Amino acid sequence: MSYQPHPHFQQLFAAYTADAASLGMQLARLMDRRAAGDPLLVCTGSDMVLFAGSGSAPVMESFRRTTRGFIELGAISHLPLAVAWLARMREVAGEASLWRAAAAAYIQAIRRTQEINTVALWRDAIQVPAWAGLEPKLVDMVDYSCQATVEVLEQALRDESGFTFERLRREYLDPVSSERVPVPMNDMMVATFALTFLDIGHRIMGWLGSQGLSWEHLMVVVSGRSGRPTAGLTWASNNMCHLIERASQGRFSKERLYIAPHAPSLDLAAAADPARWPGLEAQFRTLWFNTRTTTDMAACLFEGYPRFVPAAAVPLYVSPQMSEVDRLPKVRTVEDRFALIARMRFVLEDPLQLASNSVADYVIDQLAEHGNDPSKVFIAGFTDIDYAAVRRARRG
């Protein structure tokens, strides 16, 4: 016979916090009522919903897949990664036709993209405000990156024995003084990741700033999955936390933000439906206050014992002499190429990291320092590169 706790013990256990009518839930609802006018911001991996409080209708903003330019620049960012994946397929596939067919199909996809890559497309169709005036340079960067990638793959199809990671690093990813690949693909990846986050950071910081928030009273729940299932679970590894802090100009307390990876998914349709959003708001406000009640009670119960304070991040500056790092490297200056590329390796290798962490704080901090003006943000691998001249030289 399987074990079951006695019903009386079960009821006593549930009476504390394990039941909808428990003491914990009742206290959370009381706390919620006292702060009914305080704003609540719910963030997912791609959207933000602000419940302004006192029964106000929610307002929403998206910042990833559904936004202009995310897919377009993401497709270019992925070019070197796709080449690397094909090289690994060649190593492990039992039959050469598998990777060769995949490489040929990828070349065709690149060629089709080159054909429609025009200034008009970027300026009039994609039309990202943060990239205003940069459209000709974007065209040049995209064409250069596509052409360099096609040439590498065509060479691999001609001579697959040379399709090795050592050669890719030396001639494509990180070449030095190369006429064929004058801008290393590592630099292009930094640039495209940063340009994508330039749009995200600029729009979200502007949107938050326009809401007239009482930052000192703002409640934040980062809900559900962000990126990989293992990623974005801490303040240091979820860049939305840093973005909110910088947008508040230091007025928001990080103790008022909770990351809830196991919280129910945020239903955007419910948030937009006047009949359903009150229930959705109540769900997340209860979650926030239930968490807050527990943390607040610790001081009441254990006064005189040390209080919890989040560990301060110790900056880690990297150099070519270092072989290992245990946290995301810090960028010394906006032109710190080695650190920026080292960060790309770190976010891929550490399953706790979001891929965008490679550039997020780099971009956010510059936007915060320049009044959210994207034209003043330096993007390594883009601002300092004349891609038009690079294209002319290669065609030479």
Sign of CA dihedral 250, 211, 53, 219: negative
Does a structural domain hold residue 5?
no
Joined together, the tokens standing for residue 10 give 């079960």
Q: Which residue has the tokens 């883009």?
A: 382
What value, to the nearest 5°, has the Cα angle with vertex 178 and ends 172 and 153?
30
Helix (H, G, I), strand (E, B) or coil at 51: strand
Does a structural domain hold residue 233?
yes
Does a structural domain hold residue 1?
no
Residue 328 is part of which domain span?
Answer: 34-303+315-396
Instruction: Write out pLDDT tens, residues 160-215.
Output: 999 999 999 999 999 999 989 999 999 999 999 999 999 999 999 999 999 999 99
Does a structural domain hold residue 13?
no
Which helix (H) or strand (E) segment holds residue 59: the answer is strand 59-62
Instruction: Write out pLDDT tens, residues 286-344.
Output: 999 989 988 999 999 999 999 988 877 788 999 999 999 999 999 999 999 999 999 99
Backbone angles phi, psi at 49, to 5 degrees: -125, 125
Does a structural domain hold residue 25?
no
Does a structural domain hold residue 21?
no
Q: Which residue has the tokens 């009150």?
A: 278
Helix (H, G, I), strand (E, B) or coil at 321: coil
**Alpha-carbon span 49 to 55, nearest angstrom:** 14
Q: What is the pTM of this model?
A: 0.91
Total structural domains within the chain: 1
pLDDT value of position 60: 92
**Alpha-carbon span 270 to 282, nearest angstrom:** 12
Helix (H, G, I), strand (E, B) or coil at 6: coil
pLDDT value of position 66: 61
- In eight-state DSSP terms, residue 355 is G
For residue 20, which of 283, 296, 297 has the smallest C-alpha distance? 283
Per-10-residue mean pLDDT, the chain, length 396: 90 87 89 91 92 90 79 96 95 84 97 98 96 97 97 95 95 94 97 96 96 96 88 92 95 94 84 90 92 91 91 88 95 97 96 94 98 98 95 79
Counting Cα atoms < 13 Å in the Cβ hemisphere of 38 gives 18
Joined together, the tokens standing for residue 242 give 């840093």
- How would DSSP label each residue in 115-165? HH--HHIIIIII--GGGTT-HHHHHHHHHHHHHHHHHHHHHHHH-GGG--H
pLDDT value of position 63: 80
- How would DSSP label each residue in 205-269? HHHHHTTT--GGG-EEEEES--SSTTS--STTT-HHHHHHHHHTTT-S-GGGEEEETTSPPP-HH
pLDDT value of position 157: 95
For residue 110, which of 75, 84, 140, 138 has the smallest C-alpha distance? 75
**Alpha-carbon span 196 to 356, nearest angstrom:** 9
Does a structural domain hold residue 105?
yes
What are the residues facing 43 on neighbouring strands? 48, 222
**Alpha-carbon span 308 to 3, nearest angstrom:** 38
* 91 C-beta neighbours (distance < 10 Å), count: 11
Does a structural domain hold residue 228?
yes
Percent of the chain with pLDDT over 70: 99
pLDDT value of position 382: 98
**Alpha-carbon span 280 to 258, nearest angstrom:** 17
